[in-house]
Amino acid sequence: MHWKLKKISRMGGLYFSRLLNKPLVKPSTITITLTNRCNLYCMMCDHWKNKSKEELSLEKIKNIIDQVSKWGIKGIDLSGGEPFVRKDIFDIIQYATKKNIAINITTNATLLDKEKIEKLINSSVTRIQISLDGAKAETHDLIRGKKGSFRKVMETIDCFNKLKGENDIKLNVTTVIMKQNLSELIDLIKLAKELKLNSITFQPVVDDNLDIRRRNMLNPLRIPNSQLGLMDKVINEIIEIRKKGPFIGNSIQHLESIRKYFKNQPLKRIKCYAGFNFGVIAPNGKLWSCMGDFSNLDKETVKNSWLSTEAREKREMIKKCKSPCLYPCYLSSNTDNLLQATINILKGK
Ligand code: SF4
Ligand code: SF4
């Protein structure tokens, strides 16, 4: 099928899945959270404080990949914690590569060297999502809790650029907007362009990343009232850059929502597709959503868990979410107005 028809059909499928609370389309990807462990100590993250060593075994992960492949899902996301702290990470990548599954990896990019980067380039990894939180080394290192992290990220990106040759592997960065880096966001966009990255996507700092629905206006990482004027100016500039092309991964509506989120203003009409668009497997082996687990994959297949009554109940709660976390991957403005979105796709916008 032509890619435009595929995109329209998926968009319609998602829209009606959410409307009817009945998954009419398969998840586009399955995210496997490989670990909670991490080698960094980011200010906004609670993963590294989590002492749980619970992780899926290599055998279980291979079994999940088999199921994903059999179900006809073409991609998996490997995330953490930091995926590269796992000693068997390349066994996992190799296994998914043999099954022809496209892999997206989210990483802090501090544990990669030339040999590992070569292996990644020669695998079915199609996209690497790198965290970058400052245009200056001191800002990134302060936020990430480890000196030398920025330098390591720069070396990793440089090495990818030198080695990737004709390989179309995409390197994207994600930046968490917070008080500590607000004044550097425009420079970060410039840096991402200089580094020949494919895109940069912003997300606002969440107040509690173990419960992304929680709000705490006293969170010291939030943008304080005294800096809201600066935030308006910065968001306006990002929107202007976004209007010129898709290098900024957020939609304009999403950027406007980030502005409102920091001002603690009500957010307009945000539809969350968590639990509809893609599945997330936690290190404890459960298909997971912010509203709670679906069911344990020791007892169920991924597909049955996705179609289960528990999943339906959690999706009902997701539809009623009153504290949107603004994770860009969950929110879709495309499906709000199907007709307009269809016209946009047909026009190639
Ligand atoms: S690199 Fe990621 S997982 Fe590790 S501490 Fe930072 S935000 Fe958390
Ligand atoms: S917006 Fe979606 S992912 Fe975020 S807290 Fe609400 S239901 Fe969960």
Task: Supply the CATH number for residue 197's domain.
Answer: 3.20.20.70
111: pLDDT confidence band, cut at 50, 70 and 90? Answer: very high
Compute the distance from residue 73 Cα to the ligand 2 centre, in Å: 23
Task: Report which listed range, 10-24, 143-157, 250-264, is most confident.
Answer: 143-157
Which has more confidence, 270 or 330? 270
Q: What gap in Å lies between CA 232 and CA 229, rounded to an integer?
A: 5
> pLDDT tens digits for 112-128?
999 999 999 999 999 99
Distance in Å from the first CA to the final CA of the chain = 19
Number of domains in the chain: 1
The one-letter amino acid code at 177 reads I
The pLDDT value given to residue 335:
59
**Four-residue CA torsion sign, 132, 138, 139, 141:** positive
The pLDDT value given to residue 269:
64
Indicate which atom in ligand 2 lies nearest the CA of residue 290.
8
Compute the distance from residue 315 Cα to the ligand 2 centre, in Å: 10
CA-closest candidate to residue 298, choices 106, 54, 24, 81: 54
Nearest CA, atom 8, ligand 1:
45
User: Which strand (E) or helix (H) includes residue 200?
Assistant: strand 199-204
Indicate which atom in ligand 1 lies nearest the CA of residue 46.
8
Tell me the pTM: 0.92
pLDDT at 159 over 90: yes
The pLDDT value given to residue 343:
74
Compute the distance from residue 23 Cα to the ligand 2 centre, in Å: 17
Q: Hunting for tokens 């001002």 — which residue is that?
A: 263
The boundaries of the domain holding residue 268 are 2-347
Ligand 2 and 329: CB distance under 6 A: no
